Chains A and B, each alone.
Chain A
Amino acid sequence: MSGGPAVKISIESVCEKQVQEVALDGTETYVPPLSMSQNLSKLAQRIDFNQGSDSEEVDGEGEFRDREWSKQEQEEEDGTVKFQPSLWPWDSVRNNLRSALTEMCVLYDVLSVVKEKKYMALDPVSQDQTGKTPQVFQLISKKKSLATAGQLLLKGAEKLSKSVAENQENRRQRDFNSELLRLRSQWKLRKVGDKILGDLSYRSAGSLFPHHGTFEVIKNTDIDLDKKIPEDYCPLDVQIPSDLEGSAYIKVSIQKQAHDIGDLGTFNLFRRPSKNRGGTQAWHMKLEAAQNVLFCKEIFAQLSREAVQIKSQIPHIVVKNQIISQLFPGLQLSISLCHSTTEKKHQRVSPEKPKPDDCLYVLEHNLHQMMREFHKQQLSSVVMPHPASAPFGHKRLRLAGSLAYDKTEISNLQHSEGLLEKIIKQAKHIFLRSRTARTIDSLASRIEDPQIQAHWSNINDVYESSVKVLITSQGYEQICKSIQLQLNIGVEQIRVVHRDGRVITLSHQEQELQDFLLSQMSQHQVHAVQQLAKVMGWHVLSFSNHVGLGQVESIGNASAITVASPNGENAISVRNGPESGCKVLIQFPRSQSKELPKNDIIQDAKWSHLRGPSKEVQWSKMEGRNFVYKMELLMAAMTPCP
């Protein structure tokens, strides 16, 4: 600064109008320029009258006098203070009191002068804002925009809270009409006289069940408003026919034949826990339960009608709420309608609950499904669009007229199995399947050598399923793969398909399958010896699956094999029967057998190479964990060292 000349900086206000406010939409509001008088008053306001005494002359007359007076007083004070500095202990108090008095006097004078209005009038002076304007405007605009934003938010919040409140209100009040509307959206209703009747039957879905299935809608509004309204209160109630009350289900089970026919038809119910779904109204649950009862009744009615109509060798028995049909000898299918009407009854029966549950849920489910299919069929043949020339449901029947189908063809097309026939077939299949599984499993657990493996296929038909059975020996799975069976389990019989394509049909009797598997297992052992001989380099001299000699087996036939060692000197013969078990004989060359007497006929030395008599091996004393392993050891022992 010292070096250069002082630079003059002049500051003057910008000639722009000042911005008063910026609106939310961006428009700016300017401050209007000051007029002369405003400017004057603004300037006047800048003067601080309280500052120095030299400015007092500017004031008005009265003011001036007051000041004069107070000035004199002050001078007096000053004088005393000057002359007697801090001599008097009460000096400060006195000074303060004095100044207070002065002030009071001045105030009094001012007030009196003002009151006279002769010399002086008090006018409000416009507040000087210009000094703080930019800040204030900023604040104001901010405040305004914040306010508008706040308003918007408030409005939204109000709407939200209103809708929430409305919802709650609705839920709380449960207006009858709104309930009715809800009911109407899910159930068929009609007005008869002054009653509202509903329909819960499946007639519109194709049902032919004659039950009318009508329920009545009741207004349940005579509730004491003073009392606390219970939580589940609903102004709408439904009244269902008394025979559809409670809960019902169809129970399908397969049982051993009952000894006594007297205890039939009194099938007891144990209640299944009903799931209470949240959010559904009481009436809805009630109607659904009633509809279920109706549906179960329809199924049962259909089944019992068919049971009476169908002529079978052993007639189906319909007793009270139970249909009994003979599946296989000694085995019966029982279909019963369980319907509990009151809670009390249920409690009485409940002690029986822990008894083993032999229900076949699959069949129950299938029954429901088949009934619905039946409904659909009915519906499609009556209601669905169809060509005018053919009022039939079956597609191929539409051609029956124009292709001149004869009676048998038409009846073939129209033939449809009844519900009962289908369910009996399914039950038979299910039973046969489970029994086959049981048979295979029990055999597999009972017999360790050879092993049985069963591979059940996942994809089944309701009337057919299949299982692949492999018979192997432990440790020799790779070489002994001769027996692979495919069991196709049908409704009444099991078809066994061999690996080589032979097909054997077994009946439903458990024993047949068991015997068959046992004979296959016995054959497997001989096959295994054959395979083993191949691996060991032995020669197969003879092989027979079904030996015609020896003791007669009660199941199947015995099979036999004779193998000779690589040099042909030694031989092993194996005979294996499903019942008699295995018998192993070995032969050595004649030259090695000592006890053989000299024969006159075969004197030539070459005959000594013939094999001598057979000797039986005590098989159970052989070492080895299974048959094939023992056989391998035996072959190894009998193979001459080179």
Chain B
Amino acid sequence: MGVTCVCQVPVAEGKSVQQTVDLLHKKLDQLGAVKQGSFCVDCETYHATANVGGQQSKLLYVMHNTETPLSCFALFEGGPCLKADTNFDILMVKLKSHFQNAKGYKVECRGSRYRYCDFLIKVGTVTMSSSARGISVEVEYCPCVVPGDCWNLMKEFMQSFLSSNVPELPSVFATKPEGLFAPADAIDTMTQYLEVFNKLRKLQIPGSNVR
């Protein structure tokens, strides 16, 4: 588990989501990255039914990542988060009276997983209720867990295939109390995915790009 950066890549002008993804794949192939199977990140949204103490009800996101196949993540909107075994899903069913599943809000990101030396690249298509909304690119630098130590390297690497779409330092790392030198973990990755999902959810997609 290294430092991970997730970013959203805009769909190229005059191209569909799939075409843009293919373009990225091609670039990675040219770079010499090797395809290593596929990946999937999904996110379910829950509403808290009971309004405790008059507070505004928060949303709870339950996420899974094939990279950590035995774990399940639960993130409160802007609040605490937890890592759990996959049995947590069953627990959520039991907690139906407190958390209600928002059916239409399920987001998924599927795609291929590439390895380029120490880098792990995942190019995925984000789909919401069976419509492709956008493209996410995850880059992980496996040997290092301290973002501050390897961010520049990652940035340089991303430039090689994302050209102008290189993201800024993810805010998850920047907002940590320890700063850039706190070790990154799986939660950071999931937070970044959630950010991308939320961004894409609000985004108005031009009809032509939806497949």
The chain A residues found within 8 Å of chain B, CB to CB, are 388-390, 397, 400-410
Verify A402–B85 contact, CB threshold 8 A: yes
Most B CB within 10 A of own CB, among A400, A402, A407, A410 = A407
Contact B71 A405, beta carbon cutoff 8 Å: yes
| B83 and A402 contact, CB distance less than 8 A | yes
Interface residues of B in 184-200 (CB under 8 A from A): 185-187
| Interface majority SS (helix, strand, loop, mixed), chain B | loop
Residues of A within 8 A of B73 (CB): 404
Instruction: Given A404-B185, A404-B186, verify A410-B87 contact (CB < 8 Å).
Output: no
Task: Report A399 CB to chain B, min CB distance, Å.
Answer: 9
Give the residues in chain B near A410, CB-CB below 8 Å: 69-70
Q: Does B156 contact A (CB under 8 A)?
A: no
Tell me the bound Cα distance from A401 to B67 in angstroms: 12
Give the interface SS of chain A, mostly helix, strand, loop or mixed. loop
Kindly state the separation between the CA atoms of A472 and B35 in the bound complex, as whole angstroms.
59
Say which residue of A390, A403, A409 sits within 8 Å of B83 (CB atoms): A403
Q: A388 to chain B: which residues have CB within 8 Å?
A: 87
* Complex interface residues of chain B between 31 and 81 (CB less than 8 A to chain A): 66-73
Q: A406-B1, A409-B1 are in contact. Are A390 and B71 (CB under 8 A)?
A: no
Residue pair A401, B1 in contact (C-beta under 8 Å): no
**Bound form: Cα–Cα A259–B38 in Å:** 47
A402 touches B69 (CB 8 A): no
- Residue of B85, B86, B187 with most partner-chain A CB within 10 A: B85
If A406-B1, A406-B186, A409-B1 touch, does A400 touch B87 (CB 8 Å cutoff)?
no
Decide: A390 near B68, CB < 8 A? Known: A404-B185, A406-B1: no
- B84 part of interface (Cβ distance < 8 Å): yes
Residues of A within 8 A of B69 (CB): 407, 410
- Return the chain A residue nearest B71 by Cβ: A404
Contact B87 A404 (CB under 8 A): no
Q: Tell me which residues across on chain A come within 8 A of B187, comparing CB atoms.
A: 404
What's the Cα separation between A390 and B71 when bound, in Å?
11
Q: Contact: B85 with A401, CB < 8 Å?
A: yes
Q: How distant is the Cα of A388 from the Cα of B72 in the complex, in angstroms?
A: 16
Nearest neighbor of B85 in chain A, beta-carbon distance: A401
CB distance from A101 to the nearest CB of B (A): 131
Point out the residues of chain B lying under 8 angstroms from A390, CB to CB. 85
Residues A407 and B67 in contact, CB atoms below 8 Å apart: yes
Instruction: Specify which of A401, A405, A406 is in contact with B86 (CB 8 Å cutoff).
Output: A401
13 other A-B residue contacts (CB within 8 Å) besides A403-B71, A404-B83: A390-B85, A400-B70, A400-B71, A401-B87, A402-B85, A403-B83, A404-B71, A405-B70, A406-B68, A406-B186, A407-B68, A407-B69, A410-B70
Leading 4 A-B pairs by shortest Cβ distance? A401-B85, A404-B186, A401-B70, A404-B71
C-alpha gap A404/B185 in the complex (Å): 9
Contact status A405-B68, CB under 8 Å: yes
Chain B residues near A409: list those with CB within 8 A.
1
A406 and B83 within 8 A (CB): no
A-B contact pairs, 14 of them (CB 8 A): A389-B87, A401-B70, A401-B84, A401-B87, A404-B68, A404-B185, A405-B1, A405-B68, A405-B70, A405-B71, A406-B1, A406-B68, A407-B66, A409-B1
